[in-house]
Amino acid sequence: NSFCTLLDVVMSANASMHNGKRVLITGGAGFLGSHVTDRAMREGFDVYVMDNLYTGVLRNLEHHQGNPRFHFVNHDVQHPFPETVTKLKFDLIFHLACAASPVHYQAEPIMTTLTCVNGTNNVLKEALRNDCPVLVASTSEVYGDPLKNPQVETDWGNVNCTGIRSCYDEGKRAGEALCFDYHRNHGVKVRVVRIFNTYGPRMLFNDGRIISNFVVQALKNENITVYGTGEYTRSFQYCDDLIEGFWRLIHHPTETGPVNIGNPEEYSVLDMAKMIKAMVPGTKSEIVFLPAAKDDPKQRRPDNTKAQQVLGWNPTVPVAEGLKRTMEEFSTRLARENVAMDKVYVQCNPLLDVSSHVDEAFLAKYKLGKGTAGLAEPDQMGIYAELGARSDVKYIPGGAGLNTARVAQWMSQAPKASVITYVGAIGDDKNG
């Protein structure tokens, strides 16, 4: 307890002492990484964000553009770091680079595993070179489908090592193994945090996570989709609480982790769906049930004893308050995107990528995945008539050569708020 009190004092003092020090944040354009970036900027660091923008978006960082202490490096951590990074001396490193939602990591499973292994290895090499603390974001998914509840750091986990989630679950477990081998063999100051379900502003609308799904669906009057019976349980922490936990752990002089950081309040998925629906007045959304996702864990709740005793950390933002803040930000972002949607042009010949403009039901109806490109099958031809009838998408049919010219004209004349999606023909179309 005395150390935790001292840590509070040191962290408060550091807010004014950190000018001139550098921090590297991998994955810093993502949901959580951008909040870490905000904290580091507030504390006076020179901040270097490294991100390949697979799930990160520059919009999350636009409020730092023009600040001489902010630097962005477009790079994939799987590969050796560029000289723009390796020539510098860093005082802290946060490693958050990795797709963290099933939708995204299952879409690129090999990349996910290599990010967890090669990416973490490159980060640890950088921490060794700089002799600085490195916080590595692990996950509660290392516990798999837990054999007991709540989960404590000494649990070894119950993971399907060959399933569709294994690229992430086993990738993160391998990343943890690398951390502790670097610590034992080279004395690297690792700080491993196991993150439990986290939500808040800047979550991607299409990341497939429980709260982002439910909030977007309720705000857009779409059906709220619960996978399975809704009896599975989760705990949900607000992003600000998690970032505070990060900060306390990376400043601890000796604690390597792993340390659970999560909110121990447990909710069934169905109860959370009902709560979010009730918080959106007038929504026309109904709760519907879909088949359960494969290998989805039945329970997820942290034992926070270690975080409490070692870091003096507890979550402080009640779920209802966190949801309110999240909904306000989502509403603002949806309104902004809806304005842009009036100026969206989608051309399809013969197939398309409209995944950013249509819902999951539309994609499923025509057997499309996100980012689809290919020749249209006979049972997909109804896409064109349906797109033509939509009010939120301007669809102009035509040959690929003609539409290439059209899109060039639109791009040259479009207002800055415009969103233009264009996919030309592939296959034997010589003009495409």
Tokens for 184, please give them.
Answer: 């034992």
With a CB cutoff of 8 Å and minimum separation 6, the contacts of 116 are: 98, 167, 168, 171, 172, 174, 175
3-state secondary structure the chain: CHHHHHHHHHHHHHHHHCCCCEEEEECCCCHHHHHHHHHHHHCCCEEEEEECCCCCCHHHHHHHCCCCCEEEEECCCCCCCCHHHHCCCCCEEEECCCCCCHHHHHHCHHHHHHHHHHHHHHHHHHHHHHCCCEEEEEEHHHHECCCCCCECCCCCCECCCCCCCHHHHHHHHHHHHHHHHHHHHHCCCEEEEEECCEECCCCCCCCCCHHHHHHHHHHCCCCEEEECCCCCEEECEEHHHHHHHHHHHHCCCCCCCCEEECCCCEEEHHHHHHHHHHCCCCCCCCEEEECCCCCCCCCCCECCHHHHHHHCCCCCCCHHHHHHHHHHHHHHHHHHHHHHHCCCEEEECCCCCCCCCCCHHHHHHCCCCCCCCCCCCHHHCHHHHHHHHCCCCEECCCCHHHHHHHHHHHHHHCCCCCCEEEECCCCCCCCC
Residue 105 appears among annotated catalytic residues: no
Reading the block at residue 362, the tokens are 């539309």
**Of 54, 105, 143, 168, catalytic:** 168
CB 151 within 8 A of CB 158: no
Q: What would the two tokens of residue 1 be?
A: 């307890």
Return the active site residues.
168
